Each structure stands twice: as C-alpha cells, then as structure tokens.
Amino acid sequence: MNHIRTYHYYWHIFFFSLLVCMAEFTKAADRDVLERVIYLAKSKGTVYTLLGKVSEQSGFLFVYDSKVVDNDRMVKLEAGQRTIRQAVYEIIGRQDISLRIVENHILINQLQVQCPVVTTSEDTLAYFTLEGKLQDNQSGAPIAYGTVGVVGTSIGSITNQDGEFRLRLPDSLRQGRIRVSHVGYVGQEMDMSLLEAQHAVWSLEPWVIPIQEVVIRAVNPIRLLREMLKAKKTNYASVPVYLTTFYREGVRYKQKFRNLTEAVFKIYKPSSLLNHSQDHVKLLKMSRIVDSQERDTLIAKMSAGIDACLQLDIVKNLPDFLLPDGKGNVYSYASCDMTVIDNRLVNVISFRQNKGIKEPLYCGELYIDAENNALVQARLEINPAYVRQATDMFIERKTRKWKITAQEVVYTISYRQWNGIYYMNHIRGDLYFKVKLKRQWFSASSLHTWFEMVTCKVDVDNVTRFQRKERMPTRTIFSDTHFKYDADFWGEFNVIPWEEELGTVIEKLSPKIEQIEYENKSWIRSIVLSIFCHDMRHRMC
C-alpha cells in the first residue's frame, strides 16, 4: 500500500512538473516569435494597414479587441529593423497590452483583463456573449454575411453588412472553439475563452487558388448540376429537423427607414427530399420599430417575406435553373470560376436565360462543392434586361395614382454543413423599386424592401409537427402580426446586430417598439409587396 502511495505521489509531482514545463515552453515559444526581427520600410498609414505589413513579414495574423486597438489612427513609421513586439508597440502607440501567440495568430489584449463571470439563479442557464468583426486582410473592408459558428455544434450566425457579429452562447460552450469563414477567404478558428469580454477584430486572408502550368481541368456545368442532384440524397437532410432562426425585414423609402420588424422563429422542415412537403413556422419572439411621424406619407409593407425565405430553399423547392434536363429548359450554363467556401474548393457555375427568351427569368451563380457536389451557395437576380416587366410579380395591390416599377431584385442563399449534412443557413432578398405619382414628372422616389433569415441552431432530436394552433400563417403581412412585447425581449436568442447606418437612423427617429392598431385606416395609403411565388418552378419570386 505504501508503495502505491509513493508511486502516486511521484506521478503527481511528475505531472505537475510537466505542466509547468509546458507552460514555460509556450511562453518561450511566444517570446521567440515576438522577438523575431523584421524590416519595415518608411511608411504612413492606419494602424490596420501597418499591422497588415507586420503580418506579411511574420506570417502571423492579428486578432484584437477593437476597444484596445484603434484601427483608423494614422501612424508614421521610419524605415528600419524591429522585433515584432517593438513593431506592434510602435504601431498601436501603447505598451500596456499583452501579446500572445495562438496557432498562427497574434492575440492582442489589454493587460490584466478580467473576464466577467455570468451568474444566474439556479433555475436559469448561464450565458456569455462573443462579439466581433470580420474584415478583409488586404483592404480592411468589412466582410458582410460571413458565417460564424461554434465548432462541433449547429449553433451559429452571420455578420451584418458592417461585418459585425454577436453570439450569445450557453456557459457549457465556454471552452469550445469559434470558426469564422466567408466565400473566397481562408477560414479561421480560435478558442472562445481567448475572445470573451472583448470585441475581436478578425482579418481574413483572401484564398488564392494556384493555377497549374500544364494541366487545365475543364468543368462541364451540365454534368456538375446532374451530379449535384444525384448527391442530394446524401448531402441534405432526409428526416425532419427544427431550425431556430432569426428573421428581419424592413422598408426604406426616399432613403429613410420607415419600419423594421425582427423575430425569432422555430421552423419545422420536413425532409429536403420531399419537394411538395410544407414547412411550418412557430413565432417565438417579435419586435417592431416604426417611424410614427411618417403616418401621413406613403407606407410600404412587405407581404410574405417569411414565405419567400421558405420558398428560397432551392434545394428543397427545385427551380427550373437547377433542372438542366427538365422539359423545355430555357437556360444556358457556363463554368466561370473556382473559389473557396469554408476552406473547401468550390466550382462556380453561371446561368442565364437563352437569348431567344424575352420574359423575366433568373440569372446568377451557383456554388457547388468540388468534392461532394453539394450546392452550398447561390446568388440569383431577375434578368436586369427584363426586370421592369416583372413588376406585377411583386405588387399585389396599390393605389391608382401611384406608378411602381421594379429596378432590381436580388436573392442570396447559403447552406451550412453540420455532421456531414447541409442545412439552410442564410437567405436574403433585396427588392428595389421606383415609385412616382402618375402625371408628375419629378415625383420619382426610391423604395427598397428587404428581408433575411439566418439559422442560429439546428435540432434533429424529437422533431414533430407543430400543432395547428401554434403555426403562424406565412403569406400574410408579417409586420401586421399581433404580438405581446416583454421587457426582457431577446433573452438568450442570437440576433444579427444592427448595421451602423441602421442604428443611427433608428435613433434619429426616436423609435418605440409598439403594436400598431389598424382600426382607423383612413390615413394609410399602402403598397403591399407580395413576395410569394406564383410559379416556383418557372419564376421563383
């Protein structure tokens, strides 16, 4: 017995010594990298630009808290050699920061930052929040609609048009890893514990695909579409699933926001292999912000934006342009590019209607995984040459004195893989119109309606249809939906943060979240935009 105790004693000492050695080795490795000497030419630029030059010299990318590093501050550098540490101190203009090497990143933090611990009652779960921004490593431009997710889970979101994201996660995932990616960029991962309590700025590198000097591989787009359809059974869900989604729709008239409606839905989606099976939607949360001072002017409302999102699941609701062997197919296809999505090689197929076809159909690009033939992304728009003819597809009714003409109609769709299966990830529609009073030459104004839905979580266990009383009608005007507002509105739900422009405009409106009563409709002059499909297989809305 004493022999066993002695053995355990020495084993514990050895294990503790090993941990100490590993920690010292890590610190030494950090010092080796940060003390590496680089040469920087004489230059003047923003902090972001100059940190990019350090990345070029060192091969390490920077991730930092935007509260610690001022991206836009102008800095002058003299030519000369510096260690990486000295270069970072000089560029940022302060030394009260910690520099840490994490894989191929240099993590910049405020010294002695204490991560707040979320405490809750025993009856509730603890949550923590991750916030950040994605931007192009070369230009510094924000990366919109980038995918942000927790590795190994179905939880995620997207970035807004300013590249900003926000994830609210259960405490059980605190030791997990976060992954960010976007089409055409190298995806990145990092431990979430390193990013908590800060607004992390991620710089994504464009993915450059080298071209072989001799071998040129031609891709037959028709064959690729056939293989995509053939692989549909293995790439997409064959059983019902629940999708918890965040939804947003809005209207901007004369360059001013008139209303914004947001919601969290739970969607019951049958098998993606059953084209005619119906999705069901249950409303969990909802808010509405309106410009209450504009009630005497034109009011535009979006009808069936939710139904449009469901119909735009083009893997489930196969449109004509995904059926190259369909009867009377009127599209031509071309292999136009190769890119990368989530660090996987993707073929880009373009399609457009044949020249002899004069009606408003779709054109766009399809992104198909080069290895498993899954359709992972699509961008669609009504042919610009015929988009004005498509106006009646979207206008359900209008007042007689107004003339409305469609100017541009664009949709983007993406799918995200989890456990080897692809699920609907993000859908967005942007519809632009010109609105003018009849017989008045100089009365034309712009009208922009938009909607988007992002999947924040996928559930595959115990999935059953919603009861009829729980289902929300999807073809009605969603902004007219009655709801009960509560003070702790979003709770633990993940939402897309407001873009800077949207937040500024709404603040100026002195908004209030309210339930609008429509008992007195005398002041309403409404344009109702119908976004649902009349013929999905021929013209998706």
Ordered DSSP codes for 311-362: HT-TTTS--GGG-TTSTT--EEEEEEEEEEETTEEEEEEEEEE-TT--S--E
Residue 418's identity, in one-letter code, is W
Question: Measuring CA to CA, which residue among 29, 167, 200 is closest to residue 103?
Answer: 29
pLDDT single digits (tens) 71-92: 888 999 899 898 989 888 889 8
The mean pLDDT of 423-450, rounded to a whole number, is 85
Distances (CA, A) of 532 to 303, 304, 447, 459: 8, 6, 18, 27
540 vs 362, more confident:
362
- pLDDT of 16 higher than 60: no
Q: Residue 2 has what pLDDT?
A: 46
518 vs 427, more confident:
427
- pLDDT of 155 higher than 80: yes
Q: Residue 502 has what pLDDT?
A: 64
Q: Residue 501 has what pLDDT?
A: 65
104 vs 8, more confident:
104
Q: How many whole angstroms separate alpha carbon 324 and alpha carbon 489?
A: 46
- pLDDT of 521 higher than 50: no
Question: Measuring CA to CA, which residue among 336, 420, 326, 342 is closest to residue 377?
Answer: 342
pLDDT single digits (tens) 315-349: 999 999 999 987 778 999 999 888 888 888 999 99
Which residues contact residue 455 at a Cβ distance below 8 angstroms, ignoring those fewer than 6 apart? 156, 243, 244, 245, 416, 423, 424, 425, 426
292 vs 516, more confident:
292
- pLDDT of 488 higher than 70: no
Which residues contact residue 239 at a Cβ distance below 8 angstroms, ignoring those fewer than 6 apart? 271, 460, 463
Strand order in the sheet with 241-253: 280-290, 256-269, 241-253, 445-459, 421-437, 402-418, 375-382, 362-369, 344-353, 331-341
- pLDDT of 50 higher than 60: yes
CA 540 to chain centre: 22
Average pLDDT, the chain: 78
- pLDDT of 367 higher than 90: yes
Distances (CA, A) of 282 to 302, 360, 470, 473, 486: 19, 34, 6, 9, 18
Question: Measuring CA to CA, which residue among 242, 63, 128, 182 is closest to residue 494?
Answer: 128
pLDDT single digits (tens) 91-141: 988 888 888 888 788 888 887 544 444 444 434 458 888 888 999 888 888
Residue 501 DSSP SS3: helix
Question: Measuring CA to CA, which residue among 144, 143, 146, 124 is closest to residue 135?
Answer: 143
Question: Measuring CA to CA, which residue among 379, 361, 376 is closest to residue 224?
Answer: 376
Q: How many whole angstroms separate alpha carbon 492 and alpha carbon 167?
A: 9
Q: How many whole angstroms separate alpha carbon 460 and alpha carbon 242?
A: 6
- pLDDT of 146 higher than 60: yes
Question: Measuring CA to CA, which residue among 52, 53, 28 is closest to residue 39?
Answer: 53
Q: How many whole angstroms separate alpha carbon 126 and alpha carbon 120?
A: 6
Q: How many whole angstroms separate alpha carbon 89 and alpha carbon 47?
A: 11
Q: What is the DSSP string of 186-240?
A: --EEEEGGGTTTSEEEEEEPBPP-PPPSS------HHHHHHHHHHTHHHHB-SS-
Q: How many whole angstroms separate alpha carbon 45 and alpha carbon 56?
A: 15
Q: How many whole angstroms separate alpha carbon 127 and alpha carbon 16?
A: 32
pLDDT single digits (tens) 469-481: 889 888 766 666 6
CA-angle at 321, arms to 219 and 363, nearest 5°: 85
The mean pLDDT of 178-185, rounded to a whole number, is 90
First-to-last alpha carbon distance for the chain, in angstroms, is 78
- pLDDT of 512 higher than 70: no
Residue 146 DSSP SS3: coil
Strand order in the sheet with 395-397: 299-303, 526-530, 395-397
- pLDDT of 454 higher than 80: yes
Cα four-point dihedral sign 503, 506, 507, 513? negative
Residue 496 DSSP SS3: coil
Pairing of β 177-181 and β 188-191:
antiparallel
Q: How many whole angstroms separate alpha carbon 468 and alpha carbon 534?
A: 25
Highest mean pLDDT among 51-60, 127-136, 373-382, 432-441: 373-382
Q: Residue 516 has what pLDDT?
A: 32
- pLDDT of 312 higher than 90: yes
Highest mean pLDDT among 19-33, 242-256, 292-306: 242-256
- pLDDT of 520 higher than 50: no
pLDDT single digits (tens) 202-212: 888 888 765 54
Q: Residue 272 has what pLDDT?
A: 84
- pLDDT of 32 higher than 80: no
Give residue 8's pLDDT band: very low, low, confident or very high (50, 70, 90): very low
Which residues contact residue 293 at a Cβ distance below 8 angstroms, ignoring those fewer than 6 apart? 509
- pLDDT of 368 higher than 90: yes
Give residue 432's pLDDT band: very low, low, confident or very high (50, 70, 90): very high
Percent of the chain, pLDDT > 90?
A: 26
Q: Residue 92 has what pLDDT?
A: 87
- pLDDT of 519 higher than 70: no
- pLDDT of 37 higher than 50: yes
The mean pLDDT of 415-442, rounded to a whole number, is 88
The mean pLDDT of 244-273, rounded to a whole number, is 84
Residue with tokens 């009829």: 468
